[in-house]
A and B are shown apart, each in its own frame.
Chain A
Amino acid sequence: MLMTCLTIVVMALMTYLTRIAGYLVFRNIEMGQRTRQVMEAAPGCVLIAVIAPHFATGRLADVLALAITIAVASRFPLLVTVLAGVASAGILRWLLPL
């Protein structure tokens, strides 16, 4: 309970730090090209690493559902993608129990 609240507060501090850093640090100076490129790549690197286990479950149903979700995500908005992901995972796991 205490650990949960502490973690949440630390998360919030980290988040707020990222929100104000750009304004505080870069309102007067220009960001280097290299820094900018690494920072642009960073969120994607983390997001994809977090979902990596979904790519490695070894279950056919999960792999197929993920492929469908990726295909839908490449052209449709968030809501459609989430519905397609959840529906395909639910149905495929039921059809292919292994």
Chain B
Amino acid sequence: MGTASDTPRGREVMRGLKNSVAMQIGFIPFALVLGAQAVQKGLHPAEVSLMTGLNFAGGSEFAAIALWTSPPHLLLIAAITLLINSRHVLMGAALAPFIRHLSKRKALAVLFFMCDESWAMALADARKRTATQGRQALSVPYYAGVSAGLYLSWVIFTTIGGLLGPIMGDVHALGFDMAFPAVFLVLIRGMWKGMRAAIPWGISLGVAILTYLFIPGSWYVASGACAGLLTAWLMAKESAPC
């Protein structure tokens, strides 16, 4: 009787699935909130599945829904998505040495499922293997197990959130809208590298608040982010002339 988990490859997939269980469960409440809010902003539950299935990038999906209007501002949402997910560029660069042995096609498929959590777990595992086996390579079946668990959990529970959305009532009165800043604040905490590195974020917040108070529309996101990026650029010049 050869079940999948008897082969070495199958065991690696199972190891990945098992290691990601805590995170899969952790996804559930945010997935439900995201789905419910999306539907209240006018998306159809199927469109919620489409969005989370094609993007699989929680931070930018939360931001898109927070800014969603009917019809949506395509350019604004595209630009915000690009900026929020710009960290993926760094993550992909860090992962590159460990997927160099894969064909380009396979590497591009692997990268579709790279989120903060799968990246962190895959990189930690790959580094451990490099240390013990001297082989700098990602275990693709392990990564597949991690990714499958996280991806399915995210898409399934955002869809369920979308289906439950209409019966959840006024989410604002219940305080559910605070789920967005809460998720964002935890994401920002995860990127925390000290006060100095946080200066651009402070500038971004200040400029965004002023813009929000004095200029109608959604310009606060663009103006805040641009001010923050400019600050980071100027600060980098001072500390590292290269």
Contacts and interface: CB of A to CB of B under 8 A. Distances in A.
B189 to A, nearest CB: 5
Contacts, number: 296
For the residues of A in contact with B, the DSSP-based class is helix
B4 interface: no
A82 B11 CA distance: 35
Nearest to A45: B228
A89 B220 contact: no
Given A20-B108, A40-B90, A56 B212 contact: yes
For the residues of B in contact with A, the DSSP-based class is helix
A74 B86 contact: no
B62 to A, nearest CB: 8
Given A44-B188, A85-B178, A38 B47 contact: no
Interface stretch (B92-100, B126-134, B142-150, B159-167): B92-100
Nearest to B33: A82
Contacts of A77: 26, 186
Interface string B162-198: 0000000000011111111111111111010100011
Contacts of B64: 7, 11
Interface of A: 1, 3-12, 14-23, 25-27, 31-34, 36-56, 65-66, 69-70, 72-74, 77-79, 81-93
Given A18-B89, A45-B200, A86-B179, 15 more contacts: A12-B51, A16-B111, A22-B91, A23-B99, A23-B107, A42-B83, A46-B221, A50-B63, A53-B212, A56-B209, A65-B175, A69-B185, A81-B183, A81-B185, A87-B175
